[in-house]
Structure 1
Amino acid sequence: MFGTSGVRGPVGENVTAALALDIGRALATDGAEAVVLGRDARQSGRTLSRAVSAGVTECGGDVIDVGVQPTPTVARTVVDEGADAGVVVTASHNPAPDNGIKLWAEDGRAFGEDANARIAEIVEQGAFELAAWDDLGEHREGDDARGRHERALRESVAIPDDLSVVVDLGNGVGRVTADALHAAGCDVETLNGQRDGRFPGRPSEPTAANCQTACELVAATDADLGIVHDGDADRMMAVDERGRFVAGDALLTLFARREAGAGDRVVVPVDTSLLVADALSEVDAEVIYTPVGDAYVAAETTRPDVVFGGEPSGAWIWPEQTRCPDGPLAACTLAALVGGEGSLAALVDDLPAYPIRRDSVRTEQKAAVVERVATLARERFDDVTTLDGIRVETADGWFLVRASGTEPLVRLTAEARDEDDAAALFETARKLIERARKTA
């Protein structure tokens, strides 16, 4: 039922009001007495969130409904309210026909595998503990969730007051970023600022291909940087002052280098560039690798000496602030970094250029394909690990083949310090996948 980012899929097929009702029932049955509820701008979210609330209250839990808000705002509100859990009705960066449900623990962290498994088991068995007619839970509206988030951003980050920033909201719910930057004194120009869950301005996922308009606007103006969010603003990507989309591995390296010193640790998924490990080794800091997924990264941020965690896809976690990927916090932190250093382009250009290649292969048999790739890889290579998918280390670099947690895709990544080696590793991985597809 639950992937690496909760339940997601087409509305009316994978994601229905009946499922939302049952997840709400299961949360309260599992012991959640107070649940914070929010949603993104998708029209289907209204129906689904009402169903979640009905399920929670039917089993005696109370609901604090903060309405249409960024995912990190909801996660922060769970902590602010002292609630037992949170629910965000969102498909994040997925296309408009999709929606989803993601669950949050009392410390603002995404539910891990064990917690999701408990909820799934209750749903699948129909083992709901319905409250008596006179002991139903209450539904109340939350107040000022976004205002508290904005104030927390300005209190935790020294945002410079002389920057010009383009903020591409992607028709999503991340307006708190523009509000916080504007309140700090920045000159802010928004793009795709009208909330619309159909995402008419651009696709929700903040990739280089999807954010060309933002790149062009930054390049054509005197903006110091551009910020781009996905539909629920848990992700943040950036554009430098020359109008270049900044790669996620470069952002991850800049953030990690900013936060970590000797003895500190930074958490990253297995598909992260060597760039991060090399940069941290220069200051005697350590990398901890996890499976891909912000829930896995967040879980490891509870370990001692972890100062930051992030994913190249745009999820950034500062555990002292929140264990939810917080796109607005990342945006304000990047603005502070640029304000202190003077040029995002210069910071990026100062990083070594490690060629890394990524692609995806669509298949409905993703698990079987990855399992077959593992068999083929072990026949050919000595250093094969299965922390998440199949990662193969060679003298030249590494490649990773893993199943997507949210889509019918097998993802492949290859990296080396030399372009030819990266190309060769990528081609090797691609051929393994093609062979696996024929025999899986």
Structure 2
Amino acid sequence: MTLIKSISGIRGTIGGTPGDNLTPIDAVKYASAYGYWVKQQRNKSDHRIVVGRDARISGAMIQELVMQTLVGLGIHVIDLGLSTTPTVEMAVAMEHADGGIILTASHNPKQWNALKLLNNKGEFLDAAAGQEILDLAEGDAIRFSEVDALGKITRNDAYIDLHIDEILDLPLVNANAIKKAKFKVVVDGVNSTGGIAVPLLLNALDVHPVKLYCDPTGQFPHNPEPLKEHLTALMEKVVEEKADLGIVVDPDVDRLAFVDEHGEMFGEEYTLVAVADYVLRHTPGNTVSNMSSSRALRDVTQKHGGQYTASAVGEVNVVEKMKETKAVIGGEGNGGIIYPELHYGRDSLVGIALFLSHLAEKQLSVSELRKEYTSYFMSKKKIELTPQLDVDAILKQLASNYVSEEINTIDGLKIDFATNWVHLRKSNTEPIIRIYTEAQTQAEADGLAERFIGEIKALVNN
């Protein structure tokens, strides 16, 4: 398995050969490069970096390697232990720290882990900063501190609670309406840190959580990507418990999906759509999502008199475009909510609080709320990459094949047809080509995806 180095961080499978997998040597190498880069950004003597992790099995090992490497660089570490990606992001800002590292491979299976790297605002690094760190890792400029200048590690277990407090203080989080609604919610924490954080938030809102896979052992009970085919147990549990809805997050709690009272998926793409509808109703403005996200966000934005903008895929690109357009809400169609009133990062916890506020104020069931939005149907497929596969050449050839259609190449290849679209891109986090399609029926979306898979395979075989 190739070690993946991108703006999304350093990601790979545990074990194996250094340079090909995420081994202890690689963890130290890239933590060294990041720590040294942080020291170069601000000329001072007391650099501080926040470090937290999800519950995956390799997390404790990788975190110790990373933290002790930073100590060796003379950097003081604030250790959050088991935490969430948005919590670490907020802790960087609240601590006025110089950066942050989250040890998580997000939705990847348990054999994966990663170093996600943050700047001093608690936001993901841009491509230029990421490249500087990769260059440092391959060079010989890094210098470690002498014995009297080593850093220290300070443990702080309070930040999930502080994160929740900040959410409860948001004007649009209608805690009173939520409490009156007396929601009963089944929570699938995929045996990671969502099993800690989501029930804490719900309890603070007087919502009764029914816990499913909320023991943070890192033994994921199903594929941790929150897609319908992985969530059978949650859907059945919602019906069994006669709950109002089900909530599922990924292992680091930056992706969010809902199940309605009938045990049916609300639609991962519609997490952002529903939350944006609520936010725009109270605070009209602009929105942003990435190119692979549903047209439904555009529809909701225009309904409220705002302007919708599409960005390249990747949280850093969404955030950049949100700042540029002064968007009041944005995110990614994979269930990632970015609410800048709190912070510029995908955050399932604030997404839950805003969604429940919307539901409580509307006094609708989850299935009734879903009917308020235009129904688009998406298909998300992927093709495994091999070293021989020239992705850029394939996408260039496909673009030339569809030159008469609306073409966008800022991130892979997106082809907009009259009633549907396809987006093809090389993943930042896995060795795959992602194929996203959207159409007016599921059969049409699936058919479009299969058609392009066939066209790609035909190009590969020629």
Please report the TM-score for the alignment, with normalisation by the length of structure 2: 0.90
Counterpart CA distance in 2 for 1:352 and 1:192 is 33
Deviations 1:108-132 (CA, angstroms, capped at 9, x unpaired) = 2112211211111111113212222
Q: Structure 1 stretches (4+) deviating beyond 4 angstroms?
A: 418-424
Counterpart CA distance in 1 for 2:265 and 2:352 is 14
Question: How far off its partner does 1:415 sit?
Answer: 2.2
More displaced stretch, 356-365 vs 86-95: 356-365
Map residues 320-399 of structure 1 onto 2, 5 A cutoff.
320-341=341-362, 342-365=364-387, 368-382=390-404, 383-399=406-422
| 1:10 paired to 2:17 | no
Q: Which of 38, 61, 65 lines up with 2:75 in the alignment?
A: 61
Q: Secondary structure at the match of 2:308?
A: strand
| 1:207 paired to 2:223 | no
Task: Give the aligned residue type for 1:166.
Answer: V
Q: Which of 408, 411, 423 lines up with 2:431 in the alignment?
A: 408
Counterpart CA distance in 2 for 1:60 and 1:331 is 39
Question: How far off its partner does 1:419 sit?
Answer: 6.2
Map residues 304-323 of structure 1 onto 2, 5 A cutoff.
304-323=325-344
Counterpart CA distance in 2 for 1:182 and 1:112 is 36
Question: How far off its partner does 1:178 sit?
Answer: 0.9
Q: Which of 142, 149, 152 lines up with 1:138 in the alignment?
A: 152
Counterpart CA distance in 1 for 2:442 and 2:217 is 41
The aligned residue for residue 301 of structure 1 is 322
Mapped contact 1:23–1:55 kept (Cα < 8 A):
no
Q: Secondary structure at the match of 2:148?
A: coil
The aligned residue for residue 38 of structure 2 is 31
Q: Secondary structure at the match of 2:147?
A: coil
The aligned residue for residue 257 of structure 1 is 277
More displaced stretch, 311-320 vs 23-32: 23-32
Question: How far off its partner does 1:394 sit?
Answer: 2.1
Task: Give the aligned residue type for 1:16.
Answer: T
Question: How far off its partner does 1:184 sit?
Answer: 1.9
Q: Which of 115, 119, 135 lines up with 1:105 in the alignment?
A: 119
Mapped contact 1:378–1:384 kept (Cα < 8 A):
no
Counterpart CA distance in 2 for 1:2 and 1:103 is 11
Q: Which of 151, 174, 187 lines up with 1:158 in the alignment?
A: 174
Deviations 1:216-267 (CA, angstroms, capped at 9, x unpaired) = 1112223111110111112111111111112122222212222236972211
Question: How far off its partner does 1:301 sit?
Answer: 2.6
Q: Secondary structure at the match of 1:151?
A: helix
Deviations 1:181-213 (CA, angstroms, capped at 9, x unpaired) = 1122111111111111121x2222211111111
Mapped contact 1:9–1:15 kept (Cα < 8 A):
yes
Q: Secondary structure at the match of 2:337?
A: strand
Question: How far off its partner does 1:400 sit?
Answer: 1.1
Q: Secondary structure at the match of 1:206?
A: coil
Task: Give the aligned residue type for 1:323.
Answer: Y
Question: How far off its partner does 1:418 sit?
Answer: 5.7
Gaps of 5+ in 1: none
Task: Give the aligned residue type for 2:147.
Answer: W
Counterpart CA distance in 2 for 1:220 and 1:369 is 46
Question: How far off its partner does 1:307 sit?
Answer: 0.8
The aligned residue for residue 246 of structure 2 is 226
Counterpart CA distance in 1 for 2:260 and 2:29 is 45
Task: Give the aligned residue type for 1:144.
Answer: A
Deviations 1:82-120 (CA, angstroms, capped at 9, x unpaired) = 001000111111111111110112212112211211111
| 1:47 paired to 2:70 | no
Q: Secondary structure at the match of 2:133?
A: helix
Residues 244 and 366 (structure 1 numbering): CA distance in 2 closer, same or farther, change over 3 Å? farther
More displaced stretch, 428-437 vs 414-423: 414-423
Q: Which of 201, 204, 213 lines up with 1:192 in the alignment?
A: 213
Mapped contact 1:370–1:410 kept (Cα < 8 A):
no
| 1:79 paired to 2:98 | no
More displaced stretch, 71-80 vs 140-149: 140-149
Mapped contact 1:370–1:401 kept (Cα < 8 A):
no
Map residues 411-426 of structure 1 onto 2, 5 A cutoff.
411-417=434-440, 422=445, 425-426=448-449
Question: How far off its partner does 1:305 sit?
Answer: 2.3
Counterpart CA distance in 1 for 2:355 and 2:291 is 24
Counterpart CA distance in 2 for 1:88 and 1:212 is 29
Mapped contact 2:81–2:157 kept (Cα < 8 A):
no
Counterpart CA distance in 2 for 1:208 and 1:182 is 26
The aligned residue for residue 193 of structure 2 is 173
Residues 154 and 124 (structure 1 numbering): CA distance in 2 closer, same or farther, change over 3 Å? same
Counterpart CA distance in 1 for 2:109 and 2:384 is 16
Q: Which of 287, 297, 301 lines up with 1:280 in the alignment?
A: 301
The sequence identity of aligned pairs, in percent, is: 28
Counterpart CA distance in 2 for 1:234 and 1:283 is 26
Counterpart CA distance in 1 for 2:325 and 2:82 is 35
Counterpart CA distance in 2 for 1:380 and 1:140 is 56
Question: How far off its partner does 1:158 sit?
Answer: 2.1
| 1:244 paired to 2:264 | yes
Q: Which of 408, 411, 430 lines up with 2:453 in the alignment?
A: 430
Counterpart CA distance in 2 for 1:85 and 1:275 is 35
More displaced stretch, 276-285 vs 168-177: 276-285
Mapped contact 1:167–1:188 kept (Cα < 8 A):
yes
Mapped contact 1:5–1:406 kept (Cα < 8 A):
yes
Q: Secondary structure at the match of 1:302?
A: helix
Deviations 1:397-427 (CA, angstroms, capped at 9, x unpaired) = 2211111111121111222336676466434
Task: Give the aligned residue type for 2:383.
Answer: V
CA RMSD, Structure 1 to Structure 2 (Å) = 2.0
Matched residues, number: 438
